[in-house]
Structure 1
């Protein structure tokens, strides 16, 4: 994963020629260059390399129920412990972010419950027809749900964000037009589409970049999958992105 670290650090060339501070991610440096206009966040369990650096960046996972890890009494105790220290503002910001995420998750849960109830009343006796019609509809589960929640937070509070999506190590039963990899790509595409829809008019000024160094071999291995290979592609999407084309040339390896 050294190459991925080099990408997240924003190192040029072979990833070893930079003179950047250790643990400096390119999104953290971008946020620093924006000064007071930057509002970065990482939607991850831990702070990723790309967001590491001199600027303090909050992180919060959108997986699971979104419940706050502390009750009101515990929150007050922790805030009191760090009062008057250099961590006071960071602790307050962290509690505020987690409370916002929890409230957002609860609002989404109620909305989905109401939608299911309304669908149940209006579509009684026609469930098979509805399911057949919705086979290709966007799902509210998995990555798309996380992407929609991320869009809501970025629309209202943040302007630089990061999230990671795993599961791409397809050594076994990768599949072709259908199968494991196709499902992963479909899930990723639906997540980006859901993000664009949820963020609304702000999409015009938003750019989404999907990056990875995780190339695969062209040759299938003995377990109907592919192994680690050279090369990869980046996806760029956004309201002002002139898409529908492939940019750049393949470099011989």
Structure 2
């Protein structure tokens, strides 16, 4: 990238951060970089990482299940137990096959509220559920503080939130720049079909009943849509993410080594779809954005970059009566990077169990077997060479996990 291109791209950033960057100099290609992608609204992990070995999966999802590998529109086989959503064949699957992507199922927080806002905040704070401290800082800000205070670290630690508002995870005493590179929302469907049906009964004895029925249906749909929109907290859409991924990568390749972006639109209570449809479209946009990000980082910087894709919780294993899914518990985390370890790259990692009706948590959800603070704490420890004491500052009272992601 030419210097002129970068100056044009970053011209709207606050002056204070231009001065900080000028003092720090350009980021070295071998500096560790971490990007957290937060999927607000709780995406359906069972459509992304498909438990193709489970007969119960297909019984529980008669209309939205992803077919087994080898069948029409079937999952992309990753191993004998798991498959990937077919919409990701040209984007995420190549990274997995190149051992630059992996998945950790049965992951998440032990928070049982099933509230989008409460669980999002809980995760971003990164504190234990029992005995929370009064420290209002987020775990990424505390990570930046630890790295900035570590005299042995050569990490510049210039954090950047690609959001209009500074996320809770990056709030704290460490200075953080933030700027939304774009914004976007999903359009709702119109009422042309209901108007057409209503016109068929106009002037009949059923006219008023039909119109009242559609009005009630419309009110319920608006209420559900409002709930799903609020769950995203004005985060960028998956389509928006795919459009700005290259800009994010340029900034993280050249200047910022700790990043955050949130992507909304994952609260799929209604008409979720299967191999095609609403969720498939969002997964397509998201995965294409991630592939673009990886390519734009270029090989040397990508080799020192880790992207973590998480969500506040999963969704119910069984589909609901609206051909969607409701708020759940355990989910699947994604990790991408050119420097994933040989044990991690191209694998499905972490503690796992059989996917069956008898193993569901509270007879509805995936359990959490890989707690998020342990997973991320273990990653940070290996990425940055942090001591146990330093990790305790990032995630108080958490034991770092043993997944060798890098």
Under TM normalisation by the shorter chain, which class is it? 0.5 to 0.7
Q: 3-state DSSP class of the match of 1:216?
A: coil
Q: 3-state DSSP class of the match of 1:226?
A: coil
Query: Where do residues 23-62 of structure 1 align in structure 2 (5 Å cutoff)?
Result: 24-35=137-148, 37-62=156-181
State the 1:51 CA deviation: 0.4
Size of the alignment, in residue pairs?
175
Higher alpha-carbon Rg: 2
Give the match for residue 248 of structure 1. Answer: 350
Deviations 1:79-111 (A, max 9, x none): xxxxxxxxxxxxxxxxxxxxxxxxxxxxxxxxx
| Residues 46, 59 of structure 1: 8 Å contact kept | yes
Query: How far apart, in 2, do the equivalents of 1:206 and 1:18 lie?
Result: 31
Give the match for residue 4 of structure 1. Answer: 120
Instruction: State the TM-score, normalizing by the size of structure 2.
Output: 0.41
Q: 3-state DSSP class of the match of 2:177?
A: coil
State the 1:20 CA deviation: 5.7
After the TM superposition, list the runs of 4 or more consecutive aligned residues in structure 1 that deviate by more than 4 angstroms. Answer: none
Q: 3-state DSSP class of the match of 1:164?
A: strand
Higher relative contact order (CA 8 A, sep 6+): 2
What's the C-alpha RMSD, in Å, of the aligned pairs? 2.0
Query: How far apart, in 1, do the equivalents of 2:284 and 2:134 lie?
Result: 36
Bigger helix share? 1
Of 211, 231, 242, which residue of structure 1 is paired with 2:330?
A: 231
Give the match for residue 24 of structure 2. Answer: none
Does residue 21 (structure 1) correspond to residue 120 (structure 2)? The answer is no
Deviations 1:199-226 (A, max 9, x none): 1120010000011123111222121111
Of 293, 297, 306, which residue of structure 2 is paired with 1:195?
A: 293
Instruction: State the TM-score, normalizing by the size of structure 1.
Output: 0.65
Give the match for residue 221 of structure 1. Answer: 320
Q: Which runs of 5+ in 1 are unaligned?
A: 65-140
Deviations 1:20-48 (A, max 9, x none): 602x1111011111117210010001000
State the 1:250 CA deviation: 4.4
Bigger strand share? 2
Query: How far apart, in 2, do the equivalents of 1:20 and 1:204 lie?
Result: 37
Q: Which runs of 5+ in 2 are unaligned?
A: 1-116, 149-154, 184-238, 354-358, 362-406
